[in-house]
Amino acid sequence: MLSIVVAVHNQLAMNRLFWRHLSAHTEGEWELIVIDNGSTDASAGFFASVGAKVISNGGNYSYPYCQNRGIEAAQGDCLAFLNNDIIVPPGWNTRLLASMQHHGMDVMTSCGIEHVETIAATKRLRRRWRWIKNLVLLVGGRSETALVLMHRLMYPRWQLFTRQRALDFGLQCKPGFVGNTVMMTRRALALVGVWDERIQAADFDLYLRVQQRHAEHGDIQPVHIALDVFVHHYIRLTEGVSYPPFVDRARLIPLEDKWSEAQRLAWMPSA
């Protein structure tokens, strides 16, 4: 079984859209664990109504803290840590798992606007998304209707687009990571540990920890990006939105306080 962990704070429109695609396009046996960071809209109730396991933090906690609460509750053999502001394609989880098994990897991410097969292709996607996102935000705001419109303008034939990528890049991957969709085996957790609750940029930290483990012990492969699984991410759509300060902010440290510049330069993925 796959355990899917997602942290939320409000954004009901986004959460409804996220669920619509997740429930339609996730294959096999799976559970959804929602870590609710003190939502004041109907988000927690919505996820409970569709059968998700909702864990209330009672306040706005950092990303890694939330992921670890999800791990504690997860019953699956494999775990997927997702942002709530994404749209997954059909069969995303089975294709991602197939790529992991094919390459003998324990941690893999999807590709997306942030990172695809080449720098040039990534730049084209990012330019298109910025133009569409800003246009729709200007005229339609952040309603569910506006979010759907953004997605349709970006990918007029979403299922055809993602199906074609699956055909073109079947089981192909490249070193690196995209943090909005991270799949891990239980073995990876045993080798590198849970999320470091001191680091808000915990996806970068996880990438570096796997790299370090690979370099020092050789018993785990570096994190890779599956090029045949494209997940749409509403990147930085919440810029300018005010959130309560993290309850656990006093213990958070910058990534640079944990990892030296030499380590980051040696192990960080290229653009």
Contact 8, 30 (CB under 8 A): no
Band of the pLDDT at 270, cuts 50, 70, 90?
low
Average per-residue pLDDT for the chain? 94
Contact 232, 161 (CB under 8 A): no
pLDDT at 122 over 60: yes
| pLDDT tens digits along 141-172 | 889 999 999 999 999 999 999 999 999 999 99
Section 242-260 average pLDDT? 90
Band of the pLDDT at 240, cuts 50, 70, 90?
low
84 Cβ neighbours under 8 A, 6+ residues apart: 6, 7, 8, 11, 14, 15, 18
Report the share of the chain in percent with pLDDT over 90: 89
Contact 235, 114 (CB under 8 A): yes
Contact 222, 104 (CB under 8 A): no
- Closest C-alpha among 223, 203, 225 to residue 215: 223
The DSSP element (H or E) to which 21 belongs, if any, is helix 12-25
What local confidence, expressed as pLDDT, does residue 241 receive? 62
- DSSP conformation class of 269: P
Domains in the chain, please, with CATH?
Answer: 2-236 (3.90.550.10)
C-alpha 69: how far from chain center = 16
What local confidence, expressed as pLDDT, does residue 70 receive? 97
The beta-carbon contacts of 102-106 under 8 Å, at least 24 apart in sequence, are 102/171, 103/171, 103/173, 103/221, 103/224, 104/221, 105/173, 105/221, 105/223, 105/224, 106/184, 106/185, 106/187, 106/188, 106/191, 106/220, 106/221
Structure tokens at 156: 């007029």
Global pTM reads 0.95
Report the share of the chain in percent with pLDDT over 70: 97
pLDDT at 12 over 70: yes
Section 208-218 average pLDDT? 95
pLDDT at 268 over 90: no
Interior CA angle at 176 toward 172 and 182, to 5°?
85
What local confidence, expressed as pLDDT, does residue 193 receive? 96
What local confidence, expressed as pLDDT, does residue 160 receive? 97
pLDDT at 138 over 90: no
- State the alpha helices, DSSP H only, in 38-171: 43-49, 63-73, 92-103, 119-140, 144-154, 158-168
Count of C-beta atoms within a 10 Å radius of residue 134: 10
Section 81-103 average pLDDT? 97
**22 vs 244: which has the higher pLDDT:** 22
